[in-house]
Amino acid sequence: MDFTGPVGGQQGEGTPGRPQEGLPQPPDSSALMQECLQQFRVTGAQLQKIQASLLASMEQALRGQASPAPAVRMLPTYVGSIPHGTEQGDFLVLELGAKGASLRVLWVTLTGINGHRVEPRSQEFVIPQEVMLGAGQQLFDFAAHCLAEFLDGHPVSRQALQLGFSFSFPCHQTGLDRSTLISWTKGFRCSGVEGQDVVQLLRDAIRRQGAHSIDVVAVVNDTVGTMMGCEPGLRPCEVGLVVDTGTNACYMEEARHVAALDNDRGRVCVSVEWGSFGDSGALGPVLTTFDHSLDHESLNPGAQRFEKMIGGLYLGELVRLVLVHLARRGVLFGGRTSPALLSRGSILLEHVAEMEDPSAGVARVHAILQDLGLSPDTSDAELVQLVCAAVCTRAAQLCAAALASVLARLQRSREHQALQVAVATGGQVFEQHPRFCRILRETVMLLAPECDVSFVPSVDGGGRGVAMVTAVAARLASHRRLLEETLAPFRLSHEQLAAVQALMREAMAKGLRGEASSLRMLPTYVRATPDGSERGDFLALDLGGTNFRVLLVRVATGGVQITSQVYSIPECVAQGSGQQLFDHIVDCIVDFQQKQGLSGQSLPLGFTFSFPCRQLGLDQGILLNWTKGFNASGCEGQDVVCLLRGAIRRRQAVELNVVAIVNDTVGTMMSCGYEDPRCEIGLIVGTGTNACYMEELRNVAGVAGDSGHMCINMEWGAFGDDGSLDMLSTCFDASVDQASINPGKQRFEKMISGMYLGEIVRRILLHLTSLGVLFRGQQIQRLQTRDIFKTKFLSEIESDSLALRQVRAILEDLGLPLTSDDALMVLEVCQAVSQRAARLCGAGVAAVAEKMRENRGLEELTVSVGVDGTLYKLHPHFSSLVAATVRELAPRCVVTFLQSEDGSGKGAALVTAVACRLAQKTRV
């Protein structure tokens, strides 16, 4: 990178090292002059060093490193999204601190995407010096007074005044409307404010003023207002840069990189507060004697060193100090000075801007210096111009180095090789110093060549931007309210869950007694869990979950070996004729036998059939009704074992001995019971949901015998089909049910299981979109498609790490334009829906466990639950929330959840093995 030669050069004006075209060269004799200007020359290497050191400080601060204290603060601003133009409404804006000794009140009307731009109405008020240096209460009362004066002077509507407070000083923000002042800068030093929440101080002053009820909705730094105010163009403004009386920048950082924040999702605007960058190592070599004396005389010596080399409050003073220095050494004004030249602050920013302006400069130099009581000659005027140019060139280059650090940080934060970004600029230095902007741009291109940067001047100094933040804050607040209202019915209280538990107990008792109940409590003729003595080879079928599987299960002394194959059940078969379905099943069995070299062998077969069946025996099961998207004709009311045997018969030359039909809950319980004999409950939370458990035979009406146990298939998916859960059902549940192939059925399942959660989420997203809360209110075609939002998305979206990037990826795949607020809301919707499902499921297990404890008259019951199902297994929080809810609702039960490794096929084989063993025993 070529940064050779003195300040001002051909290649680009102000490029470090080369003399400036069009400006007279200092007479050779003035080595003093050269030495003086030399002090303000910053080399390319020095700029790169500053860039690197500032970047390092920024990252130290982001990581929350405390000691050594980073040179910059990197303050999160709670602004998490850049405006998306839908903001509407009238907002009051109070700007304090950006423009030095003045504050500004604005009335900004935002008209949304299609509205025409309404010019803000504003009024500027000069802040008396004694107020800037007096008591804090005086300053805020002054601000409240200006607000009242503005409102009295401008015919604006009085209802629900929402105010955005632009407070341009370093603050610790703890919310969009909570901000504590760290330290004053730029000529302010009011007492009793540092360490205080400035929003509260303003609210108190407005209350004391009592003329108007104004709701202070948001407080923002002026850099944020500048960034937010830039017109949405080709690319979003993600950096805000202010060079006014002071200087600072903000940019959109990935929230997960900001240690101070407890959320790692989305982006957050960070105010760099680079004014305090004073890293002696990097800055030392470029600090001049003039900088030191300016700092020494300032209100805050030792602080804001970087700002004092760039900010408009200081450039004039630097020039003045240099002119005094050169005058006293006879280089300027014939060695004469003047009282005005010797008085601090007599040369202002606008003076410097005018004097260094090559076109109008020399005449203006004369006029300004004469106003300061000096009588400059032509060469004086030219030398003064050089001094102005040197001071401003350095300021622009240093500002460029700082901006290049922010761009480098953005690149790292976005893991982008090539960064495309727009930088919103604001402040008097930009407005008055065209040369400053050009040098800044050129130097940034040299220091950050891989970044494609465009500069967007802020149109009204950030007032609109502050209104945008206020609108965003107001919008976020109203969206949050609408989101909470929408999700509130999903947040079940302890009382509601206990009511579900009690309702389930009641339905269980009725179902066991054979009375009308939404819980059919079906006897399964499985009376015992395996005792480990089972032996042999068995075929097993597993139908009803995500996959249809055929298994060969070898139960031997050393344990159980399983060989299985997954086959698909096309929707047309699942919803075709029963004959077609069972023929398809037999085809798969034959294919499996051929592959396993079992053809011609008639192994005992256990059939896991995961649908509600009234069993008349171990190998007799009348299908009561299909669930989970199955709807094959001619099966309901039929004995599915007969249907299978019929298909086997139709396929000559196949020998199969169907011994048992079991529900997947039973298969899962048996499978886990083989390892843990205390496993007496089976739970499925997959495509569908259901549970079974070992009930006292005496409690099972319709089955002979009253000692011992029998496994009961609860078919809890149908719980609430009698309307007993309607108090929990939301409009989203109702629309999912209405759209299902079995409306009014499986209501509990439709609030819990994998086949439906994605659909519930999709419909909530559509609802929130219609409220304008999501996706800018734009209804997205793709999201209208049923089942487009898979339940597995919930598991991915709610996974703890990287959630938001995954949210984005998933939703972008769905063609949904996504803001990070949207992403966070989608995440909250998923969480609300899955948490309700898990807590309802937990209430169900608690009901079963408590029933068993009471059955056995135990103070405390220890029991294990065998669990299977994709949702339970894959969702990052489902299982722990189920367990927590069981502990909450059944504190006298110690319940262990065992995830079934081999699925219920093994269980079906074990049930078959037990049946064969029992049959063997009766035969001998």
Exactly one of 44, 170, 376, 461 binds ligand BGC (CB under 6 A); that residue is 170
Cα–Cα distances (Å) from 126 to 95, 106, 132, 184, 282, in that order, read 12, 15, 10, 18, 37
Of 9, 266, 673, 686, the residue at the interface with ligand 0WK (CB under 6 A) is 686
Closer of 266 and 717 to ligand BGC (Cβ) = 717
Considering only residues 528-587, where is the footprint of ligand 0WK by CB under 6 A? 542, 544-546
Tell me: does residue 715 bind ligand 0WK (CB under 6 A). Answer: no
Catalytically active residues, by annotation: 549, 610, 664
Dihedral sign from CA coordinates of 347, 350, 352, 354? negative
Stretch binding ligand BGC (CB under 6 A), from 78-86, 238-246, 331-339, 410-418: 238-246
CB atoms within 10 A of CB 393: 26
The answer to the question of residue 621 lying near ligand 0WK (CB under 6 A) is: no
Strands 861-868 vs 679-685: parallel, antiparallel or unpaired:
parallel
> Considering CB distances under 5 to 8 angstroms, the limit depending on partner class, which of ligand 0WK, ligand BGC, none binds residue 168?
ligand BGC
813 CB contacts (<8 Å, ≥6 apart)?
Answer: none
- Using CB under 6 A as the binding rule, whether residue 627 contacts ligand BGC is answered as yes
Q: What is the CA radius of gyration of the chain?
A: 38
Neighbours of 923 (CB within 10 A): 6
Among 8, 14, 361, 686, binds ligand BGC (CB under 6 A): 686
> Which of ligand 0WK, ligand BGC, none is residue 717 near (CB under 5 to 8 Å by kind)?
ligand BGC
Which of 256-264, 576-584, 662-670, 703-711 is the region at the interface with ligand BGC (rule: CB under 6 A)? 662-670
442 sits in which H/E element = helix 434-447
Q: Which one of residues 127, 193, 227, 684 is an interface residue with ligand 0WK (CB under 6 A)?
A: 684
For 220, the token pair is 């923002």
CB-based contact 518:506 (threshold 8 Å): no
Phi, psi of 178 (to 5 degrees): -135, 120
The Cα–Cα gap between 806 and 830 comes to 13
Give which of 238, 242, 312, 205 is closest to 80, Cα–Cα.
Answer: 238
For ligand BGC, which is the closer residue by CB, 169 or 674? 169
Query: Which residues, in sequence order, are bridge partners of residue 106?
Result: 93, 122
Binding-residue pattern over the window 729 to 758 for ligand BGC, x denoting contact by CB under 6 A: --------------------x---------
Residue 291 as a binder of ligand BGC (CB under 6 A): the answer is no
Instruction: Please state, in angstroms and rounded to a whole number, the distance separating the CA atoms of residues 786 and 760.
Output: 10
Q: Residues 530, 914: contact at Cβ < 8 Å?
A: yes
Please identify, among the stretches 126-134, 145-153, 217-225, 509-517, the one whose residues bind ligand BGC according to the rule CB under 6 A. 217-225
Note whether 544 binds ligand BGC by CB under 6 A.
yes
Amino acid occupying residue 14: G
Separation of first and last alpha carbons in the chain = 95
Q: How would you label 213-251 residue by residue, b for 16+ Cβ within 10 Å and e otherwise?
A: ebebbbbbbbbbbbbbbbeeeeebbbbbbbbbbbbbbbb
Exposure string of 777-792, with b = 16+ CB inside 10 Å and e = fewer, is eeebeebeeeeebbbb
- 184 phi and psi angles, rounded to 5 deg: -75, 155
279, interface contact from ligand 0WK, ligand BGC, none, CB < 5-8 Å by kind: none
Closer to ligand 0WK by Cβ: residue 315 or 712: 712
Q: Check if the beta carbon of residue 834 is closer than 8 Å to that of residue 885.
A: no
Sheet holding 75-76, edge to edge: 75-76, 267-271, 247-254, 237-243, 419-426, 451-457
Pairing verdict, β 88-96 and 75-76: unpaired
Kindly state whether residue 717 participates in binding ligand BGC, applying the rule CB under 6 A. yes
Of 307, 715, 721, 868, the one binding ligand 0WK by CB under 6 A: 868
The listed partner (ligand BGC, ligand 0WK, none) that binds 307, CB under 5 to 8 Å by sort, is ligand BGC
Total of chain residues touching ligand 0WK, rule CB under 6 A: 18
Judged by phi (left if over 0) then psi (alpha if -120 to 50, else beta), residue 860 lies in beta
| Residue 100 binding ligand 0WK, by CB under 6 A | no
Question: Quick one: 316 or 688, whose CB is closer to ligand BGC?
Answer: 688
What residue ranges in 20-144 does DSSP mark as E strands? 75-76, 88-96, 102-111, 121-126
Region of 89-97, 155-163, 470-478, 899-907 interacting with ligand 0WK (CB under 6 A): 899-907
Residue nearest to ligand BGC (CB): 688
| Residue 275 contacts ligand BGC per CB under 6 A | yes
Assess 628 for contact with ligand BGC (CB under 6 A): yes
The entry of ligand BGC, ligand 0WK, none that residue 542 binds, CB within 5 to 8 Å by partner kind: ligand 0WK
Q: Which of 166, 174, 156 is CA-nearest to residue 202? A: 166
Query: CA 105 to CA 120: how far, in whole Å?
Result: 10
> Residue by residue, what is the 3-state secondary structure of 602-644?
CCEEEEEECCCEEEEECCEEEECCCCCCCCCECCCCCEHHHHH
Q: Is 750 helix (H, G, I), strand (E, B) or coil?
A: helix
Distance CA(166)–CA(176), nearest Å, equals: 12
Q: Look at residue 51 and give the partner it binds from ligand 0WK, ligand BGC, none, a contact being a CB closer than 5 to 8 Å depending on partner kind.
A: none
By CB under 6 A, name the one of 222, 253, 798, 850 that touches ligand BGC. 222
Question: Is residue 870 part of the contact set for ligand 0WK (CB under 6 A)?
Answer: yes
Q: Residue 904 binds which one of ligand BGC, ligand 0WK, none, with CB within 5 to 8 A depending on kind?
A: ligand 0WK
* 458 near ligand 0WK, rule: CB under 6 A: no
Residue 221 binds what, of ligand BGC, ligand 0WK, none (CB under 5 to 8 Å, by partner type)?
ligand BGC
284, burial (CB in 10 Å: exposed 0-12, middle 13-18, buried 19+): exposed
393 is a site residue for ligand BGC (CB under 6 A): no
Residue 672: CB minimum distance to ligand 0WK, A: 12
For residue 175, the minimal CB distance to ligand BGC (Å) is: 18
Pick 95 or 715: Cβ nearer ligand 0WK: 715
Whether 724 and 516 have beta carbons less than 8 Å apart is answered as no
Q: From residue 651 to residue 670, what is the string marking binding to ligand 0WK with x (rule CB under 6 A)?
A: -------------x--x---
Q: Which of 92, 396, 448, 684 binds ligand BGC (CB under 6 A)?
A: 684
Looking at 251-259, 495-503, 686-694, 761-769, which segment touches ligand BGC (CB under 6 A)? 686-694
Candidate list 534, 715, 721, 759; residue touching ligand BGC; CB under 6 A: 715
CB of 663 to ligand BGC, least distance (A): 5
CA distance 612 to 626: 7
- Stretch in the footprint of ligand 0WK (CB under 6 A) among 92-100, 683-691, 695-703, 853-861: 683-691
223: contact with ligand BGC by CB under 6 A: yes
DSSP 662: E
* Chain mean position to CA 628: 33
Largest CA distance in the chain: 130
Phi, psi values for residue 440, rounded to 5°: -60, -50
Question: Nearest residue by C-beta to ligand 0WK?
Answer: 686
- 226 lies in the site for ligand BGC, by CB under 6 A: no
Question: Which of residues 42 and 755 has its CB atom nearest to ligand 0WK in the complex?
Answer: 755
Q: Which is nearer to ligand 0WK, 306 or 607 (CB)?
A: 607
Residue closer to ligand 0WK, measured from CB, 276 or 608: 608
172 to 191, contacts with ligand BGC by CB under 6 A? 185-186
The contact set with ligand BGC (CB under 6 A) reads 98, 168-170, 185-186, 221-223, 242, 244, 246-248, 273, 275, 307, 544-545, 610-612, 627-628, 663-665, 684, 686, 688-690, 715, 717, 749
The contact set with ligand 0WK (CB under 6 A) reads 542, 544-546, 608, 610, 664, 667, 684, 686-687, 754, 868-870, 903-905
